[in-house]
Amino acid sequence: MPRTPLAALSPADQERRRALRRMKAVALGALLFMAVVFAVSFPLQADVPWLAYVRAAAEGGMVGALADWFAVTALFRHPLGIPIPHTAIIPSRKDEIGRTLGEFVETNFLSTEVVRTKLESMSVSRRLGEWLARPEHAARVADEGSAMAAGVLRALSDSDVQDLIADVAREHLVEPDWGPSVGGWLSRLVDSGAHHGAVDMLADSLGVWLEGNRSSFDGLVSSRLPSWVPSMVLRIIDDTLYKEALSFVRDVRGDPDHAARRAVDQYLTRLADSLQNDPATIGRFEDAKSGVFDSPRVRELAAEAWDTTKSGLLRSLSDPDSGLRARMTQALIDAGTRLSTDTALQQRVDGWATDAAVFLVDRYRHDIASIITETVERWDPVETTEKIELMVGRDLQYIRLNGTVVGALAGLVIFTIAHALVG
């Protein structure tokens, strides 16, 4: 597996490096101090007896300092470059450490009990509601959501969307037979008398038109009669035709049981029955439907509708003062206010969120934890060691310093007890 170099040192890492160097210097200074004390006290202890105690303390301090230096150094590299077994632990066992860390996180942090307990104690919905209820936060969410929606719209291919619309329309509108469904709907419409309103409206509209367009009947019939018919007769014919048409429409409007109305009812009843049971009628209806949907003009209208819809949405999404953005913001504020005050809703939302999170963690926790393992495996061993040493090395230098002090005290105590017992 190719190694992935870590990121360059950040300002914080550079400060950690300076602090690490200072602590290394302090720990080394303590060791050198003990060595100087030992070098001075060792040859003089025969002449100055109490210097034996100083020599023992310095000797123990050097031993403690060297032992802890070896232990700390062995974590990150071979001491003095010598490949002593069980040294350079981090670079040599980096992958194993990554696997162990991944297993530790999976077992102790991604368990369903831990996730459920944590989420149940957080009141996620109430906190979210209180945050969303603030107008500036709702506006921010609306802004981000608008930017994301606009990005999705721009990324969509117009031709792909049009093809999708065409496929969906064909699957759900063109391919299914409409005849029996339309026939059943029309039959229920006639049985309920719901179409009478449409007949009334048609009769009213026709009556209004007739009353305002008397001149449209001039010559409607008379122009087709022989020229030898007297003009008076022609006018009488036109007037009679107009009056009869007007009278017919008035009768239809005023008589709910008019023969024309019954004829309409009978026609619609026959049409509904034919659409449900007559294969020929059903076939003609389906052919007409297919012809409409397959018409190039219909396709052009669908494309124009998508273009208009897309352009309108993009304008509304990009304009902070648009009605769409304002409604989105207000809807978020309203949702946040309700979430922050409605206890029952909070319980439902918290339950949904907790169940969803527990399901995802239970199903994918191994995959989530494997991110740690795989990421550590890709790291370069040397750079990984340096990075970890920057994070914890300064504290480990305190171990060296403490080892020096503890070693000195231990050496002094051991020498004192031995001198007291042996003399």
Closest CA to 125 of 330, 361, 338: 338
Task: Examine the domain organization and report whether 207 and 296 are in the same domain.
Answer: yes
Mean pLDDT for 236-256 is 80
- pLDDT more than 70, % of the chain: 89
Q: Is 123 left (phi over 0), alpha (psi -120 to 50) or beta?
A: left
Q: Say what the pTM is.
A: 0.51
Helix extents (H) in 77-123: 89-92, 94-108, 112-120
Identify whether 361 is part of a domain: no
252 class by beta-carbon count within 10 Å (0-12 exposed, 13-18 middle, 19+ buried): buried
Co-location of 180 and 299 in the same domain: yes
Task: Tell me, yes or no, whether 54 lies in a domain.
Answer: yes
pLDDT of residue 4: 46
Please say which residue of 255, 271, 306 terminates a domain: 306
Residue 265 lies in a domain: yes
For residues 77 and 194, state if they share a domain.
Answer: no
Residues 187 and 300 in one domain: yes
Task: Answer yes or no: is pLDDT of 233 > 80.
Answer: no
Q: Judge whether 352 lies within some domain.
A: no
In this structure, is residue 327 part of a structural domain? no
Which of residues 246, 281, 306 is at a domain's end? Answer: 306
Q: E strand or H helix at 279, and its extent?
A: helix 279-293
Residue 405 belongs to domain spanning? 11-92+380-422
**Both 181 and 273 in a single domain?**
yes
Whether residue 132 is contained in a domain is answered as: no
Cα separation of 130 and 297, whole Å? 51
Q: How many domains does the chain have?
A: 2
Whether residue 316 is contained in a domain is answered as no
Report yes or no on 287 lying in a domain.
Answer: yes
Q: Where is the domain boundary, 241, 275, 306?
A: 306
pLDDT tens digits along 315-345? 888 888 888 889 999 999 999 999 889 989 9
